[in-house]
Amino acid sequence: MTVLLLLACIDADARGDSAVAPDTSDTGEEAVVTDDPPESVVLEGLCPLDTRHGAFYVEAYDSYSAVYGEVSDGVVPNTVLTEVAVDGACRLMRTENPYCDPPCSAGETCDLDSTCIAYPSTQDLGTVSVSGLVEAVAMEPVSPGFSYFDTSLPHPIYTDEQVIELTTSGATLDPFVLHGVGFDVLTLDTASWTVAEHTSVPLAWAGAAKDTQTEVFVELNIDQHGTSPLTVWCVFEDTGSAEIPATVIDALLDAGVTGYPSGRVTRRTVDSTTAGDGCVDLTVASPVGASIDVAGYTPCTSDLDCPPNQSCNLALQVCE
């Protein structure tokens, strides 16, 4: 994802009791905050992939924060993943790679039914504003297209239990409002995972201390160069521990191992709403990367990365 967005100011009567707190940053701008408790906002969760026209993110990483997002006039076909297996809170999702013959023209993309369609265009949302942050954010679209982002922010950009509100002023699309809640940034207790046959992957983190409507989203990919790679998606309650089931791990391994594996754990709140004829969501997130070791496999970019008697398959970035 590349672009981000967030909140526009809305009338205080619609938002509830609010106050303006002085900002201590060099800009001198004021951050609009609300006294609403975190449980007072209703969060609708992620959009369905097949109607998701856009997304906005308020993210606090290890050393910096960012707000970004964009909304298009349609769904990009290869963002609609197919669920191929499920076990408890975990799903195995397959990336589709549509093929059109003859190839699509410039400005088009291949749809999932192998027909060419116009590539979705980003939409003008007017001013996108985010309140409830350490520093108020107001973004105008950035050319080319209509992308929104701000990375020159205090860190972390949100605070625990603070209600966050994103609003748009309206342009091509009518104005809309999305909500989130600030929380303590995620701390992983198990940041190194071993992926092996018939073995679940245990996860541990510092669980949520308060009810801020958070969940924990886990991603795992070990097939970076497959033609239709699979990715594990798990959504856990924010209790501090969980595991990726062995059944899901076995199915992931059966699909192939290529390249450098990746894993990430994200504490988040998610809200969504209708915008035009599609859906848009807002994720307030604290993402943390994990180190992944796939038993029996060594990723590589040259023979020097490989054990004795093996060489690097550069196309697949795996020692063989």
**Measured distance CA(59)–CA(50) in Å, rounded:** 24
Q: In angstroms, rounded to a whole number, what is the distance separating the alpha carbons of residues 5 and 169?
A: 12
Segment among 9-18, 62-71, 121-130, 197-206 with least mean pLDDT: 9-18
Classified as helix, coil or strand, 299 is strand
**Residue 209 binned pLDDT confidence (cut-offs 50, 70, 90):** confident
% of the chain beyond a pLDDT of 90: 85
Q: Is the pLDDT of residue 1 over 90?
A: no
At 278, the amino acid letter reads G
Q: What is the DSSP string of 22-72?
A: PP-STT-PPEEEE---GGGSPP--PPPGGGEEEEEEEEE-SS-EEEEEEEB
pLDDT band at 4 (very low <50, low <70, confident <90, very high): very low
| CA-closest candidate to residue 182, choices 63, 56, 284 | 284
Element housing 150 (H / E): strand 148-150
Q: Which residue has the higher pLDDT, 298 or 35?
A: 298
Look at residue 227 in the predicted model and tell me its pLDDT.
85
More confident residue, 208 or 12: 208
d(CA 52, CA 49): 5
For residue 281, list its beta bridge partners.
55, 272
Q: What is the mean pLDDT of residues 109-115?
A: 96
Structure tokens that stand for 83 in this block: 């669920």
pLDDT of 7: 30
Query: What pLDDT, on a 0 to 100 scale, did the predictor assign at position 32?
Result: 60
C-alpha dihedral, 47 to 48 to 53 to 54, nearest 10°: 40
Q: Whole-model pTM? A: 0.87
Q: Which of 302, 295, 252 is nearest to 91 (CA)?
A: 252
**Of 158, 209, 156, whose CA–CA distance to 181 is shortest?**
158
pLDDT of res. 38: 84
Predicted local distance difference test score (pLDDT) of residue 23: 35
Give the range among 33-37, 211-215, 221-225 with minimum mean pLDDT. 33-37
Identify the weakest region by mean pLDDT among 26-40, 212-226, 256-270: 26-40
Nearest to 147 by CA among 132, 164, 125, 171: 125
Select the highest-mean-pLDDT range: 20-34, 35-49, 112-126: 112-126
pLDDT at 175 over 70: yes
Q: Residue 169: count other Cβ atoms within 10 Å of its Cβ.
A: 14
Q: What are phi and psi of 267, to 5 degrees?
A: -80, 135
Q: Which two tokens mark 89?
A: 């809170």
d(CA 280, CA 71): 7
Query: CA 180 to CA 188: how far, in whole Å?
Result: 22
Structure tokens belonging to residue 166 = 């994103």
